[in-house]
Chains A and B, each alone.
Chain A
Amino acid sequence: MTEKITFSRITKSFAGSFSATKLLSDVDIALHGGKVILLTGENGTGKTTLLRILAGLLKPDFGTVNFGATDEHWKHARKRLLKNVMYLHQRPYMFEGSVSRNMALAVPGSMSRKQTRERVNQALEWGMLTRHALANAKTLSGGQQQRVALARAWLRQSPIMLLDEPIANMDTQSSARTIKLLHQLKHANTAILICSHNYQIFDSLVDRHVELANYQLTEAQSIKADNRVPR
């Protein structure tokens, strides 16, 4: 499992009709196993863009990635990012079919049917979803779908997880369940980056709080100083 992954000088602008709109400029961020970073920022500052770049889903104009040895250009590290980083959309996408099928898709294709079934059952239990195993995943509530997505991530054993507004539009009970699962992932040494407007709710979970403003990341003031992780 990757203990630390460092992204440096991430720069991204989007081409407009007449000029380019700058979103990120020389952003540096390091993710550590078992540590949670909270990312906040106003709407339109590029939080989702940054998360998608870190996940290997969106090509930056420039940026390097270091998995612990040497700096690699993002383009060359992309495959490794896709393999190691899991990105959870604000409204997770549910594939056609049952919750079990959605889980099974996260199991590596090399596993036997029996192994897959066992792993899926474990994930259903972990995500408190056993009684929904056969339900159509697309008909679940937002909170339940978020738990399916987290259970898929747990199944995949991604060393790094990026969550985009994981508890948006969720009731208190669902948020509490999601946070409980995130605590378990953190204890399993997963590096977690959460992008959210609601930072108080993640207080018990978060080790570092950064804010994206004026194209760059800065340390936010809300987090306990003794709990910070090195950058």
Chain B
Amino acid sequence: MDALNLLFSRDVELWEIIGISFRVSCTAILSASPFALGIAFILAYFNFIGRRLLISIFSTLLAFPAVVVGLVVYILLSSQGPLGDWRLLFSQTAMIIAQIILCLPILISLSHAAFQANDHHAWETARTLGIPGFRAFLIIIYEVKFGLLAAFLAGFGRIIAEVGASMMVGGNILHYTRNIPTAIALETSKGNFSQGIALGIVLLLLAFILNILLQYFQGRGKSSP
């Protein structure tokens, strides 16, 4: 009950944590998406040496633990690290960088699968209609929009709930880098279960909505002839 009270009592701290979570994860997924779309498209439609190897690497990276991503970004951004001069450690930018790395493999792999599932004649037809390369690329994106949306939602689901990388590179600083998963971890360790449960409800609700949307878009993607 305490948890529900917290959620509906406009607790500023709680909603600030939720706000930081969404701001960081939305920025990460929106920054990663164009890049992932481009790579997935090239992997699906162009043949070059090392293509299969790249596909295997991205598939393997799907299982990359968040805490290891956090560790790598931490090493890179720490004052002794190669990017230490940027002074980004324990900032939202560092969290965004870590989350971009986390969601890229899932975005690329699922977008690649969506492009592959589409008839390859689509690209050739667009090109032979004299449509310039970039416009043809946008047309193909429209053709596989449901599969790509499913990839986007799966990627977002992966980063909004991850705790390891955000904790390591964000530092869990209140009002600044504390997001939903790191707050849950902290409040639970302090024995303050009500805030943990309240944030857990938000995450569960989000996971439920994302899954409903995912099912819907995957179904639409498969049902289109």
Contact = CB atoms under 8 A, between A and B. Distances in A.
Contacts of A105: 126, 129, 131, 139
B225 A86 contact: no
B128 A55 contact: yes
A88 B135 CA distance: 20
Contacts of A57: 124, 127-128
B122 A95 contact: yes
Interface string A109-123: 100000000000000
A106 B124 contact: no
Contact of A86 (B119, B121, B129): B129
B103 to A, nearest CB: 27
Contact of A82 (B121, B122, B128, B225): B128
Contacts of A106: 129-130
Interface in A130-163: 138-139, 152, 156, 158
A197 interface: no
B56 interface: no
A92 interface: yes
B124 A156 contact: no
Interface string B128-150: 11111001000100110000000
Contact of B224 (A83, A85, A96): A96
Nearest to A149: B125
B224 A93 contact: no
Contacts of B122: 93, 95
A152 B127 CA distance: 13
Contacts of B139: 95, 105
A89 B135 contact: no
20 contacts: A57-B124, A57-B127, A57-B128, A82-B128, A82-B130, A83-B130, A87-B124, A89-B121, A93-B121, A93-B122, A93-B124, A95-B125, A95-B139, A96-B142, A96-B143, A96-B224, A105-B131, A109-B135, A139-B225, A158-B130
Q: Which 7 A-B pairs have the closest CB atoms?
A: A93-B121, A93-B125, A87-B128, A138-B225, A106-B129, A89-B121, A93-B122
